[in-house]
Amino acid sequence: MKKVITYGTYDLLHQGHINLLRRAKELGDYLIVGVTSDSFDRGRGKLNVRNNVLERVEAVKATGYADEVIIEDYLGQKIDDIQKYDVDIFAIGSDWKGKFDYLNEYCKVVYLPRTEGISSTMLRAESTTIVKVGIIGCGRVANRFPKEASVVSGVEVVAAYDTNLDAANLLSSRNEKVVAYPDLKEFYDAIDAVYIATPHLSHYYYIKQALEAGKHVLCETPMVLIGDEAKEVFALAESKGLILMEANKTAHCPAFNHLMVMIKSGVIGEVVDIDASLSQLLDKNGREFDKSQGGGALFEQGSYPLLPIFKLCGIDYENLDLYSRMDNGIDIHTKGVFRFKNAVCSFKVGLGVKTEGNLVISGTKGYAYVPAPWWLTDYFEFRYEDQNENKKFFYKWDGYGLRYEIQEFISSIINHRFSNARLRRRESVQMARVMQQFIEKKNFMEI
């Protein structure tokens, strides 16, 4: 049996792709198609993918030409795949002519003619609608947003608003396309979507206002601090056909997503314990220590360690106990202990207490270890009783990480995806319920 292999992103699958797959199939008896993973595309600086890897795999399968579909996840994988699958022919479009001649050492290389007059680049240029985004709240994080958005296709940051007009003017002066607006109505008239980076206590107000104005919303984490408010704004967004997404950069980080997928596949067995820690020693004159602005360790940091717990153990926990060290009305350290039916999970956050900020996920076959700062995931390990089985995984973390959440936000708008697997709406709602439990001091002890 003659085996053929080919690779591609297959974004915006079109007739040109289908013709290439047909021609590749005609070269042999069995066609293997490698679809580039989201993380691999991002690693090559491609943040313009319209469809995620699962959607692209399904599109390739639907053509009927692929006998087997695999995921391309790293440089050099083509050689590994050719040897692993005992491939006879490597086929690729003629626009890559000469680029893959080095593979002739391993199999025959065939450059297939492209379909004239059609390409993903052309289709993307013709179909791309630029989403105009405005920023509400022009503090430290918001000032990173325009540069991070500049590497994502389909988005342009054009407006800024802050109750402190000087802050909006400063952001505008640093970014030539961004106009500072003193009036919110004029601000909303200039945009399609809004990024909210105000203090936590004002999120609910601005989310509702933006949705009522017909704008898609990306809101900094924690999105809101009350569970019913989270449910309300998600329902409002969907009723208006708008996207509402919580801006948790870890949730959309390629390495963190790969970690979650691998653990769910059973590489460390059944998860029985998760311990996640995060702490910072910040200037006590900052917003983070101001109760009136929703300061405190849990509000500021809590959604990050809650993320792996809810992703791996679900949201249906039986009990949560909270322990906090308070100072001037805000928690400078909080520890939470969850009891699930088949697992116990804990998290620690701190603004005035320093701890080792790692993530350890314990399973019945081994455990996952992500060193500090694990929420900026670029490396993790799987460790086992037999150390010879240990595995290490390295990734690239680009910029401040905001580009990952921006790309998913724009993709959700384009594809009308109200919820996505990286951070489900029900998970955001449950995070808000944890914040609410802290506010109401339920199962709470001050230490």
Cross-strand partners of 441? none
Q: Are 217 and 237 in contact (CB under 8 A)?
A: yes
Q: Is the pLDDT of residue 50 over 70?
A: no
Examine the domain organization and report whether 73 and 108 are in the same domain. Answer: yes
Average pLDDT over residues 375-380: 93
pLDDT in tens, 316-374: 999 999 999 999 899 999 999 999 999 999 999 999 889 899 999 999 999 999 999 99
Q: Are 197 and 223 in contact (CB under 8 A)?
A: no
Give the model's pLDDT for residue 117.
55
Q: Which amino acid is it at 132?
A: K
Examine the domain organization and report whether 329 and 269 are in the same domain. Answer: yes
Examine the domain organization and report whether 139 and 239 are in the same domain. Answer: yes
Pairing assessment for the beta strands 68-72 and 30-36 based on DSSP bridges: parallel
CA dist., res. 223 & res. 244, Å (int): 10
pLDDT in tens, 239-270: 999 999 999 999 998 899 889 989 999 999 99
Average pLDDT over residues 30-49: 70
Sheet arrangement for strand 359-363: 391-394, 379-384, 366-370, 359-363, 271-279, 344-350, 330-339, 319-327, 444-446
Average pLDDT over residues 38-57: 64
Q: Is the pLDDT of residue 423 over 90?
A: yes
Please, what's the b/e burial string for 234-246 (b: 16 or more CB within 10 A of its CB; e: otherwise)? bebbeeeebbbbb
CA dist., res. 337 & res. 370, Å (int): 20
Examine the domain organization and report whether 91 and 218 are in the same domain. Answer: no
- C-beta contacts of 321-324 below 8 A and 24+ residues apart: 321/443, 321/444, 321/445, 322/298, 322/437, 322/438, 322/443, 322/444, 322/445, 323/444, 323/445, 323/446, 323/447, 324/297, 324/298, 324/438, 324/444, 324/445, 324/446, 324/447
Place of tokens 């670029």: 378
Average pLDDT over residues 37-53: 60
pLDDT tier, 382 (very low <50, low <70, confident <90, very high otherwise) = very high
- Percent of the chain at pLDDT above 90? 74
Cross-strand partners of 337? 321, 346
Give the model's pLDDT for residue 292.
83
Q: Are 227 and 430 in contact (CB under 8 A)?
A: yes
Taking CA atoms, 25 is separated from 11, 19, 281, 283, in Å, by: 20, 10, 59, 62
Sign of torsion over alpha carbons 251, 252, 253, 256: positive
Output the 3-class SS for 138-178. Answer: CCCCHHHHHHHHCCCCCEEEEEEECCCHHHHHHHHHHCCCC
Give the model's pLDDT for residue 284.
77
pLDDT tier, 128 (very low <50, low <70, confident <90, very high otherwise) = low
Examine the domain organization and report whether 258 and 392 are in the same domain. Answer: yes
| Half-sphere exposure (Cβ direction) of 242: Cα atoms closer than 13 Å | 25
Cross-strand partners of 420? 423
Examine the domain organization and report whether 279 and 381 are in the same domain. Answer: yes
Average pLDDT over residues 50-78: 87
Q: Which of 95, 117, 139 is the last residue of a domain?
A: 117
What is the domain count for the chain?
A: 3
Structure-model confidence comparison of residues 287 and 423, the more confident one: 423
Examine the domain organization and report whether 302 and 380 are in the same domain. Answer: yes
CA dist., res. 194 & res. 211, Å (int): 9
pTM of the model: 0.79
Domain containing residue 240: CATH number: 3.40.50.720
CA dist., res. 412 & res. 245, Å (int): 9
Pairing assessment for the beta strands 244-247 and 216-220 based on DSSP bridges: parallel
Maximum Cα interatomic distance, the chain, rounded to a whole number of Å: 74
Domain containing residue 23: CATH number: 3.40.50.620
Give the model's pLDDT for residue 213.
98
pLDDT tier, 162 (very low <50, low <70, confident <90, very high otherwise) = very high
Please give the structure tokens belonging to residue 271.
Answer: 């998860």
> Is 415 inside a domain boundary?
no
Examine the domain organization and report whether 280 and 369 are in the same domain. Answer: yes
pLDDT tier, 115 (very low <50, low <70, confident <90, very high otherwise) = confident
Examine the domain organization and report whether 258 and 387 are in the same domain. Answer: yes
Average pLDDT over residues 421-445: 96
> Is 435 inside a domain boundary?
no
CA dist., res. 20 & res. 11, Å (int): 14
Number of neighbouring beta carbons within 10 Å of residue 188: 21
Helix, strand, coil percentages in the chain from 3-state DSSP, rounded to 5 = 40, 25, 35
Examine the domain organization and report whether 177 and 234 are in the same domain. Answer: yes
Q: Is the pLDDT of residue 4 over 70?
A: yes
Give the model's pLDDT for residue 123.
46
CA dist., res. 254 & res. 386, Å (int): 28
Give the model's pLDDT for residue 10.
87
Q: Which of 98, 117, 136 is the last residue of a domain?
A: 117
CA dist., res. 201 & res. 437, Å (int): 15
**Nearest in space to 358 (alpha carbons), one of 343, 386, 377, 331:** 377
> Is 420 inside a domain boundary?
no
pLDDT tier, 230 (very low <50, low <70, confident <90, very high otherwise) = very high
Number of neighbouring beta carbons within 10 Å of residue 381: 14
Answer whether the bond into residue 371 is a cis peptide, omega within 30°.
no
Average pLDDT over residues 222-229: 97
End-to-end CA distance of the chain: 70
Where in the sequence is the domain holding 105, given as residue range(s)? Answer: 3-117
Residue 33 has phi, psi (to 5 degrees) of: -115, 120
Cross-strand partners of 247? 220
Q: Is the pLDDT of residue 29 over 50?
A: yes
Q: Tell me the average pLDDT of the chain.
A: 91
Examine the domain organization and report whether 296 and 206 are in the same domain. Answer: no
CA dist., res. 113 & res. 108, Å (int): 16
Please, what's the b/e burial string for 60-96 (b: 16 or more CB within 10 A of its CB; e: otherwise)? beeeebbeebbbbbeeebbeebbeeeebbbbbbbeee
